[in-house]
Amino acid sequence: MEPLSISDARKNLSSLVQALNSDNLEPVRINVRGKTVAVLLSSEEYERMRRQILDQEIDEIFTEFHDANAALTSK
């Protein structure tokens, strides 16, 4: 979907939210003066993205722990 102006997004917010949750609509970029200032996405997509970020952070923590543990045990 093409980016929407903030006024168009405001006018169509109800239908956009409904479409995001029922039609698997791509996230909608909202522009002000031609610049994207916000993105509207379904709560399902938001949660998927949050889980992905959290999984990456957990992997990094375990990698750091593993590396630190390996360094300590090799002494």
Residues comprising the chain, all counted: 75
Task: Give the predicted TM-score (pTM) of the model.
Answer: 0.68
Q: How high does pLDDT run on average in the chain? A: 92
Amino acid at 64: E
Quote the pLDDT of residue 25: 77
Quote the pLDDT of residue 1: 79
Quote the pLDDT of residue 32: 97
Structure tokens at 75: 């002494």
Q: Domain of residue 35: give its range.
A: 1-41
* Shared domain check, 64 and 46: yes
Residue with tokens 């509207």: 40
Quote the pLDDT of residue 30: 97
- pLDDT tens for residues 16-47? 999 988 877 789 999 999 999 999 999 999 99
* Shared domain check, 49 and 33: no
- CATH code of 30's domain: 3.40.1620
pLDDT surpasses 90 at 75: no
SS (H, E, C) 3-65: CEEHHHHHHCHHHHHHHHHHCCCCCEEEEECCEEEEEECCHHHHHHHHHHHHHHHHHHHHHHH
